[in-house]
Structure 1
Amino acid sequence: MRFIKDEEFIRGNCPMTKEEIRILTIANLELEEDFNLLDIGAGTGSVSIQMAKLCPKGKVTAIEMDEEALEVIKVNKEKFQAHNLEVIQGEALEVLPQVQGEFHGIFVGGSGGNIETIIKEYGKKLIKGRKMVLNFITIDNLYKAMDTLKELKYKVQCIQVGVSKTVGNSYMMKAQNPIFIVIATKVG
């Protein structure tokens, strides 16, 4: 299994799930090569593309509303030959009718302020026993998501990850934003 490095992605000015967080997020989805997956708030497409490469017999659907991010996803999709990646343009709740089928895993990287409704509506498309993994920078969205997931009877776990990397010739450590990773298993 090969994970794509951050510097391999074309990024532009769009937010991107960093390499270490991307690896932990995807590992918690427990992927198999034929899975049908969903990425809500796909940004540059780093998670979508990595999932597409790990599930060559499956399909990944990425939802993104930002115009610049959509252009970056398209370029990255072509660069990495992620032919099993479908990109849907729009806000997650507005494009809900376009998103067909059930999913073996759902990743939520962005919510546009609608995290509770996204969890409730898209959770209906998650196969029982499978996972929804959500990443957060803010405690407010973390709380809203965990509260909603508990209300819906998901089995919920949260981990907080802090990553620092060396920079420059002196190897000074530079910290990235700590990220909360919520792993929610659908039991009902």
Structure 2
Amino acid sequence: MNEMRWSYKTGGIPDELFHRGKVPMTKAEVRAVTLAKARLNDRHLIWDIGAGTGSITVEAALVSAKGTVYAVEKEAEGIALIKENSELFGVDNIAVIQGTAPEALFSLPAPDRVFIGGSGGNFRAIMDLVFQKLVRGGRIVINAVVLETFIEAVEIMQEYGFTDVDITQVSIAKTVDLGRIHMFKSHNPVFVISGEKP
């Protein structure tokens, strides 16, 4: 890995620098917004639920270099990619947990920050446990790509009384080189929902 290609600290490391496979990955621009909404410091204990390739895990670990990121992923390919990307970017403060949430979360220490990128259909149960274990003043950031998850996330956050709730829709279009011309190709919009536990 050519360290000079990513020796900056801003969020949104280029997608092509990660090992990807066939596992879904949060795109760089969405990742940058997601990390900004988490308001990380260098000592946070972080859960990344539905970690996929580990792109958010890696970037969070780079920021919270004196903390720990627990990357929870149920798919074996995702687990392998998280480990590969952790090694690729030289971060050793990542604990990789293979399992399905919320069951895989029960034994983890209380987090300061939580990212939810995938729930496997268990969103309510995951949110219930996250609210119980998240430290007071801790922040959660949810990336929702389907309307049902977005609606459920907002309802649950209101139900639990999260404060400083922010809902941002991120719509990205990037140019594709078609030879003599360039055309914009849109990515699916993502809802980034964040809030703080009272």
Q: TM-score, normalised by structure 1?
A: 0.95
One-letter code aligned to 2:33: L
Q: Structure 2 matches for 1:113-152, cutoff 5 A?
A: 113-152=121-160
The answer to whether the aligner puts 1:162 opposite 2:162 as a matched pair is no
* Residue of structure 2 equivalent to 1:106: 114
Partner secondary structure for residue 116 of structure 1: helix
What secondary structure, in the 3-state scheme, does the structure 1 residue paired with 2:33 have? helix
- For residues 125 and 103 of structure 2, what CA distance do their matches in structure 1 show? 11
- The number of residues matched between the two structures is 186
> Residue type matched to 1:148 in 2?
I
* Counterpart in the other structure of 2:194: 183
Q: CA deviation at 1:133?
A: 0.3
Deviations along 1:69-109, one digit per CA (max 9) or x if unpaired, are 1111111111111100001000011212221x221110000
Deviations 1:145-169 (A, max 9, x none): 1111111111222111100000114
Question: Which residue does the alignment assign to 2:6?
Answer: none
- 1:77 alignment counterpart: 86
Q: CA deviation at 1:179?
A: 0.3
Deviation at 1:130, TM superposition (A): 2.1
1:41 to 29, 33, 50: 50
| Secondary structure of the structure 1 residue equivalent to 2:128 | helix
Give 2:17's match in structure 1, choosing from 8, 33, 36.
8
Higher mean alpha-carbon deviation, 132-141 vs 146-155, is at 146-155
Unaligned runs of 5+ in 2: 1-8
1:172 aligned partner: 183
Runs of 4+ in 1 over 2 A off after TM superposition: none
Give the secondary structure class of the aligned counterpart of 1:132: strand
Tell me, yes or no, if structure 1 residue 23 matches structure 2 residue 32. yes
- Secondary structure in 2 matching 1:107: strand
Structure 1 stretch 151-160 or stretch 171-180: which is displaced more?
151-160
Pairwise CA distance, 1:139: 0.4
User: Percent same amino acid at aligned positions?
Assistant: 38
Q: Distance in 2 between matches of 1:97 and 1:129?
A: 20
1:51-66 equivalences in 2 (<5 Å) = 51-66=60-75
Secondary structure at 1:52 match in 2? helix
Shift of 1:28: 0.6
